[in-house]
Amino acid sequence: MRGLQLSLNKNQKLRVERALEQLESLSLKSNSDASVTVADNISVDCEDAILKGHGTTELDGRVVATLCGVVERVNKLVYVRALRARYKPEIGDIIVGRVIEVAPKRWRLEINFSQDAVLMLSSMNLPDGIQRRRTAIDELNMRSIFEENDVICAEVRGFQHDGCLHLQARSQKYGKLEIGQLLTIPPYLVKKRKQHFHHLEQYGIDLILGCNGYVWVGEHVEVKDPMLVDQSNKSEQQNADSENSMSANEVETCTPLETRQNICRTANAIRVLSTLGFMITVEVITEIVNLSTSLNLDIHEMLGPEFYVLVAEKEAERRSSLRKKR
C-alpha cells in the first residue's frame, strides 16, 4: 500500500495516509504474535517433536524465522508463510487459466505460475457428459472444446511423474468461461477458502476467485445435469421446430445492459482493492460495489483518486468496528 501511485491532491494524501496508518496499527495489534521477521523467535510452547517447515530453522535450541511472514501451524508442523510470495500450486486449488496451446491429448494453460499447466483430455468431462474412454475422434475434436486464448476454470490435480503440473475438470462447474472479464491480481490477496465460486444474485453475475491470482467476473451460467439436459433437448426436438430454436438461441446470446454494467462495476471494485493491497473476498467486493452505487458514481469514476481514498477510509472503519466487537 505504501507504493500506491495515484495523482492525489494535498487533502486526499492526508486522508489516505491517515487511513493507511490506522490500518497498519490495527494489523500490528491483531498479528503481533503471528507476524515475524528474519531472526525472530517462534514460540512453540515447549512442545515435543516439533516439525520445522519452510521459513524456519533451529538455533541454540530455539526455532527462528528465516524470512518475513506469518507463522502457520498444522498439527506438529510450524512454518512461515511469506506475505508477498509467488503462487505455489497445491492439490485442490481452484484456478483460472488461459489456453495457450492445443497439443496431442492435452491443453497447455498459462496460470500465473513459473511453468505452464497441463489439462489432459482424459481429465475433463466431455460435452455430452457421458463417462467413457477417449477415442481418436475425441482427440481430433479437441478444438471444438477449447482452443487458443480460451479462458477456463479447473482444479489442481498435482505434479505428475513427468514433472508437469496437471489439472482436472471433472465437474460441471469447471470448463470454459465466456461473457465476462479476466482480472490479474497478486495471488497473496486471494485467501484460500472452501468456496471460490460465488453467484451474486443481486447483480446476476458469477465471481470466481482463482487461487493463482486470476479472477473471473462474468454473466451467471446455470450448471445443469447433463442427463437432464439430454432429456430436455430430446423433448424440445420433438415439440419445437427449427425456427423457434434458432430464435431462442439468439435471445440467449444477448447479455442485458444491466448485467454488463454490473460486471464492469464489480471488476473495477476488484481493481481498486488490488491497488490498495486489501484482501479480495466476496464480502468486501460487495461492500465496495454498494458504496459506489450509493454515491451514484459512474463505472469509470470508480477508478478516480477520490474513490480510492473513500475505500481506504471505509476499510479502516470496517476493521476497527470488527476489532471493537471482539
Question: Where is the domain boundary, 18, 52, 83?
Answer: 83
d(CA 305, CA 310): 9
Asked, for residue 321, whether it belongs to a domain, the answer is yes
pLDDT, residue 199, reads 92
Strand partners, 197: 208
pLDDT of residue 267: 95
Give the per-residue pLDDT at 46.
Answer: 62
Average pLDDT, the chain: 81
- pLDDT score at 214: 95
Rounded CA separation 94/117 (Å): 13
pLDDT at residue 77 in the model: 85
Where is the domain boundary, 144, 177, 210? 177
Q: Cell match 444477448: residue?
A: 254
Give 269-289 pLDDT, tens digit per residue.
999 999 988 889 999 999 999
Alpha carbons 281 and 200: distance in angstroms, whole number? 13
- How far apart are alpha carbons 38 and 56 in whole angstroms? 9
Asked if 301 and 262 sit in the same domain, the reply is yes
Do 108 and 172 share a domain, yes or no?
yes
Question: How far apart are alpha carbons 22 and 10 in whole angstroms?
Answer: 19
**Residue 28: per-residue pLDDT:** 57
Claim to verify: residue 76 and residue 99 sit in the same structural domain: no
Residue 75 and residue 65 share a domain? yes
Domain ranges, residue 103: 85-177
| Total-model pTM | 0.78
Give the per-residue pLDDT at 315: 84
Q: How confident is the model at residue 230 (pLDDT cuts 50, 70, 90)?
A: very low
Digit-coded pLDDT (tens) for 132-179: 778 888 888 889 889 999 999 999 998 888 778 999 988 888 889 999
In angstroms, what CA-CA distances link 50 with 36, 73, 87, 90, 242? 18, 10, 27, 23, 69
Do 77 and 134 lie in a common domain?
no
**Same structural domain, 215 and 307:** yes
Mean pLDDT across 98-120: 91
Do 24 and 44 belong together in one domain?
Answer: no
